Structure 1
Amino acid sequence: MAAEQPIPVYTNLSDLYGSLGTSLNHAEKWNSVAEEFQRRFGRTPAYIARAPGRVNLIGEHIDYCLFGVLPAAIERDILIAIGRRPNALAEDAPGSVVAENMQKKYTRQVFAPAPRRRASVSEDEIRLEEWQLDINTKELRWESYVKAGYYGVLINYFSGGGNPAPVDILVTGTVPAGSGLSSSAAMVVGSTLAFLAINGKLDGNFTGNGPKISKSQLVEMAVANEKRVGVNSGGMDQAASVISVPSSALYISFFPELSASAVPLPPGAVFIIANSLVVSDKAVTAKRNYNLRVVETLVAARVLARHLELKVGNTERITLREVVGRLAGEVEEVGEMPVEWLLETLKRMEREIEHLKPPNSDISSEAQLGVTMEEMIAMSGLTAEEFQDVYLSWVEVEATHFQLYKRAKHVFSEASRVLQYRRVCLAAESSPSSSPMDVLKELGQLMDESQTSCNELFECSCPELNQLTQISKDAGAIGSRLTGAGWGGCTVSLVAEDNVDSFIEKVSATYGPYKGLQGEALDEVIFATKPSSGACVYKFD
């Protein structure tokens, strides 16, 4: 299984470049990073860690509900060069870091983890230590994501003794921040990998403290790490960045455990990413957007489970996927239920969600379907204290009405669309005689339906994304939708291979914020991409 494979560690550049795709000049970029590290720090780096961004083809905001999604890694990535500091001073703190960024707007940062006494049984017994790194979640800076990745390495590999190496690092990247292409997850994955590598935790003969890392373990570590910057991620971004393979989307399932399988994309399909140029910082706006949606879907799951008379513990945060599984009699030990069975159960859930509408209401339209905090607590069957502890003690949210019905309706319909998209791709691979354009039209329709649901039910689109998807359709896109968390960022459009140049030209001429952009500046905001391989490390001699 792809998720259980080790992280690739390359020592040959030809092998490395061959795994990354061909539409970008990867050799020039990697050489540039190594040369700049040499210029700034006076030596060649020991490693360069790579983590790609990702585009989610379909399956938005359902990963943290434990439903499967279909992303693909893109060729644009984060690179982190790292080297052990050879002349560390005696007064340097253990594991101190000098961090620089090739983008001039980011300044040099110097920080070090602080060992913190955790507990002791007696004065004669060994005191266990954990580590602390200050991360300001209110005002995120670029180094916060570096620190987040580092912290995961510290607590997993240095909690039982020993000190991490003092290092210098140099960061660069081509994944635009706040674009919905998961630059934050790529930064955290890349940072985690860099600190693992420099401390000898990726070596094939590693037998020291902490787990021998696999791709799935790196995903789990990166998810936990990103939470330290205030984002409750479901794991799709990290899994796509780590586990993806070239020429395919990645069907990622989170229930009963993380698994991933390649889904070959049909010939003739090209995906064009267009940046709305509206920056979406989901950590800063999380209490009104991302984290609020997490809470709404979790509460919706409990209310549905209660209506369906499913057993749920008072302290359990049951997800919508787990509700579906328990309703269908799914046995976790056996694995995920067959696709057709899951699709049928999802259809039933789209009827059951009527019970998530406001109680005692005569509302005939969907204009206002939210419930107040008091109504939501009553619907959950918990006391106010229990509700606070289970759903609000670990996350900050801000809302007057909570949209349980609309969020659940999106999640169940989007989960169905992911399974249909996957089925169309697999059927096309097994039936070479099928009409390529008919296949692309099926996929495009599912993408269009997803955009409508994201906009109207999950309310994670914005005027600029809506405009950009419509412009893309008018320019010849077979399907177009937002990708990423939304509230800004990018769209992804399915375009026939022979229409790529014409499509980019029409969108560039029509979307207002692109006016006046040419050459490299335009290439940064609208570009075609090939599905890329996942995260890796290059080791210098």
Structure 2
Amino acid sequence: MSAQEAIPVYTNLKDLYASLGTSLNHAERWNNLATEFETRFGKKPTYIARAPGRTFVGEHIDYALFGVLPAAIERDILIACAPREVSPTSPTDETHRAPGSVIAENLQPKYTRQVFAPAPKPKGDDEVHVKGWHLDIPQELRWENYVKAGYYGVLEEYFTGAAAQPIPVDLLVTGSVPAGSGLSSSAAMVVASTLAFLAINGKVGDLPRTENIEKGELVKMSMENEKRVGTVSMDQAASVMSVPSSVLYITFYPSLTASPTPLPAGAVLVCAHSLKVSDKALTAKRGYNLRVVETLVGARALARTLNVPVGAREKITFREVVGKLVDEADVGKGGAGMPVPALMDELRRMETAVDALKPPNSTDPEFGATMEEMILLSGLSAEEFHEVYMSWVEGCADEVRGVVDATHFKLYKRAKHVYSEALRVLQFRQLCLDTAAAGDAGDNLAVLKQLGTLMNESQTSCADDFECSCEELDQLTQLARDAGAYGSRLTGAGWGGCTVSLVPEGEVDAFIKKISETYPPYKGLEGDALSEVIFATRPSTGACVYKFD
């Protein structure tokens, strides 16, 4: 598996459905979307862009540049699209007739039709967040903002300067990934919308190798695109690059790489929604984005206590701290960095090295630093600190101050989670690789139990050290273990959303039945209503495009 591979473009539905797994009626969904598109727009779609949600191991360590082990789930976002003909003589003051205009609809009836168009950026405009185009993208929870974010990235990449005008397009969106579930519905929406606009404008498909966008390029573009709706995420990598039957070991340092890791036979994943909605865009300053700040500042503070050299405005990560401690070779030269066994050894050493983040003469193991103390720990002036670490957060530091322990940021606990979680990812991966190598001689049951233990330890760390769990997730993971899961943990950013449990293959139905009977919010749910909140899945393929004849 390589970030240099082209995005798959299918022209045969049989081949497409075979790549998606079997637990959902894919044909019915895709055919219904195409039929409804024709009903609404009076023409057949030209493409359907697909991007899956994701789950599994390695939470809140990707932006510290540690590798993660996600798996694409079968549930996904689909966007049917087709170019819209606009006469050159049409009045452009009507939005739907403007160059590059978009008419976007959603199969969910609660979402209304949206019509918007990008506007060329006037000369002399000093806005820093746009280049050649302006497209209004409020940082708020609205489905069309994720569509706009995907579109803006395509405009910025391909239609600045003397480039041709973008094509007007009609879109119809549907999705089976529950919003606010921690299954990366927002990342899937951004990837699918980015892919739809790329397809319509001729940037994927039957193109020369040098012109066809690669998976790694789509990941990077989608990551930047999601920032425009107010969140920092790397979930797009799993949505784009995953393969069936495997978790995907994705590294971000020293370069973006992806390699499949087969799950042992008999492993089934069950996702269960806590029914507490978690939305990063709405809670970013109190949750996700705040943890990013704590993690990045913690890395700089740790580097300085360990005498690791840090540039004046360098935003060093916990992964880079490890590399600099051992004078890691091949970094910045396209190399792979230190071998995995060596990295595991260093992560074990970091379990005690993070003690350096505890304040001297303090009995408080959490090390809650005030804003002023963090600035001192960083070695920067107040102005430099805010520019390096706070400028990407909406508003100013005062909006973040007081969110954690009223006035404190828990650098030690965040560091403890990141390093232990990074080690668990590598341990999980090694167990899977060893089992695959052993083949029939392996003891899958024993391995599944060990994998489950790692998942349980991850949940404990997320709850106690990263504090991104919640009462509902704690209850649901415990009920899952009581119901026979090998292991259970939150998935996604946390603070609500879903759990993922590793369940014996032959006990999935009994497991789901027991959870439905014991988790209070599921009381009275049955049939489709129940399958919307708890469902089994196997690792699926990543993002793709279907091209109609």
Structure 1 length-normalised TM: 0.95
Give secondary structure in 2 for the equivalent of 1:326.
helix
- Asked if 1:479 corresponds to 2:487, the answer is yes
Deviation at 1:86, TM superposition (A): 2.3
Deviation at 1:142, TM superposition (A): 0.5
- The amino acid that maps onto 2:314 is E
Which runs of structure 2 are paired with 1:436-455 in the superposition (5 Å)?
436-455=444-463
- The amino acid that maps onto 1:67 is F
Which runs of structure 2 are paired with 1:349-428 in the superposition (5 Å)?
349-357=350-358, 359-363=359-363, 366=365, 368-396=366-394, 397-398=400-401, 399=403, 400-428=407-435
Structure 1 unaligned segments of length 5 or more: list them. Answer: 121-127
Deviation at 1:206, TM superposition (A): 5.5
Aligned counterparts of 2:293 and 2:262: Cα–Cα separation in 1: 34
- The amino acid that maps onto 2:427 is Q
Aligned counterpart, 1:519: 527
Give secondary structure in 2 for the equivalent of 1:117.
coil
Aligned counterparts of 1:32 and 1:306: Cα–Cα separation in 2: 58
Deviation at 1:140, TM superposition (A): 2.2
> What CA deviation, in whole Å up to 9, does each residue of 1:9-48 have, x standing for no partner?
1111111111111111111110000000000000001110
Aligned counterpart, 1:114: 119
Equivalent residues of 1:3, 1:243 under 8 A apart: yes
- Asked if 1:232 corresponds to 2:232, the answer is yes
Equivalent residues of 1:67, 1:253 under 8 A apart: yes
Aligned counterparts of 2:384 and 2:201: Cα–Cα separation in 1: 43
Aligned counterpart, 1:184: 186
Give secondary structure in 2 for the equivalent of 1:4.
coil
> What CA deviation, in whole Å up to 9, does each residue of 1:253-278 have, x standing for no partner?
00001100000000011111000011
Alignment coverage as a number of residue pairs? 525
Which runs of structure 2 are paired with 1:265-280 in the superposition (5 Å)?
265-280=263-278
> What CA deviation, in whole Å up to 9, does each residue of 1:177-198 have, x standing for no partner?
0000000000000000000001
- The amino acid that maps onto 1:61 is H
Deviation at 1:360, TM superposition (A): 3.8
- The amino acid that maps onto 1:423 is Q
More divergent stretch after superposition (373-382 vs 487-496): 373-382
Aligned counterparts of 1:13 and 1:113: Cα–Cα separation in 2: 33
Of residues 525, 541, 544, the one that matches 1:536 is 544
Deviation at 1:498, TM superposition (A): 1.3
Aligned counterpart, 1:292: 290
- The amino acid that maps onto 1:461 is S
Deviation at 1:118, TM superposition (A): 4.5
Aligned counterparts of 1:321 and 1:118: Cα–Cα separation in 2: 41
- The amino acid that maps onto 1:21 is G
Equivalent residues of 2:86, 2:168 under 8 A apart: no
- Asked if 1:508 corresponds to 2:510, the answer is no
Aligned counterpart, 2:38: 38
Which runs of structure 2 are paired with 1:161-180 in the superposition (5 Å)?
161-180=163-182
Aligned counterpart, 1:94: 99
The structure 1 segments of at least 4 consecutive aligned residues displaced by more than 4 Å after TM superposition are none
Give secondary structure in 2 for the equivalent of 1:51.
strand
> What CA deviation, in whole Å up to 9, does each residue of 1:282-319 have, x standing for no partner?
11111111011101111111111111111111111000
Structure 2 unaligned segments of length 5 or more: list them. Answer: 395-399
Q: Structure 1 residues 410, 118: closer, same or farther in 2, change over 3 A?
A: farther
Identity of aligned residues (%): 66
Aligned counterparts of 1:70 and 1:107: Cα–Cα separation in 2: 36
Q: Structure 1 residues 207, 352: closer, same or farther in 2, change over 3 A?
A: closer
Aligned counterparts of 1:517 and 1:64: Cα–Cα separation in 2: 37
Equivalent residues of 2:131, 2:156 under 8 A apart: no
- The amino acid that maps onto 1:103 is Q
Aligned counterpart, 2:397: none
Aligned counterparts of 2:500 and 2:493: Cα–Cα separation in 1: 13
- The amino acid that maps onto 1:385 is E
Aligned counterparts of 2:517 and 2:493: Cα–Cα separation in 1: 26
- The amino acid that maps onto 1:404 is L
Aligned counterpart, 2:156: 155
Which runs of structure 2 are paired with 1:242-253 in the superposition (5 Å)?
242-253=240-251
Q: Structure 1 residues 102, 44: closer, same or farther in 2, change over 3 A?
A: same
Deviation at 1:344, TM superposition (A): 1.2
Aligned counterparts of 1:360 and 1:345: Cα–Cα separation in 2: 24
Aligned counterparts of 2:392 and 2:146: Cα–Cα separation in 1: 20
More divergent stretch after superposition (61-70 vs 374-383): 374-383
Equivalent residues of 1:272, 1:492 under 8 A apart: yes
- The amino acid that maps onto 2:346 is T
- The amino acid that maps onto 1:28 is E
Deviation at 1:207, TM superposition (A): 8.9
Aligned counterparts of 1:112 and 1:269: Cα–Cα separation in 2: 46
More divergent stretch after superposition (6-15 vs 128-137): 128-137
Aligned counterparts of 1:133 and 1:40: Cα–Cα separation in 2: 25
RMSD: 1.5
Aligned counterparts of 1:496 and 1:307: Cα–Cα separation in 2: 46
- Asked if 1:316 corresponds to 2:310, the answer is no
Equivalent residues of 1:118, 1:129 under 8 A apart: no
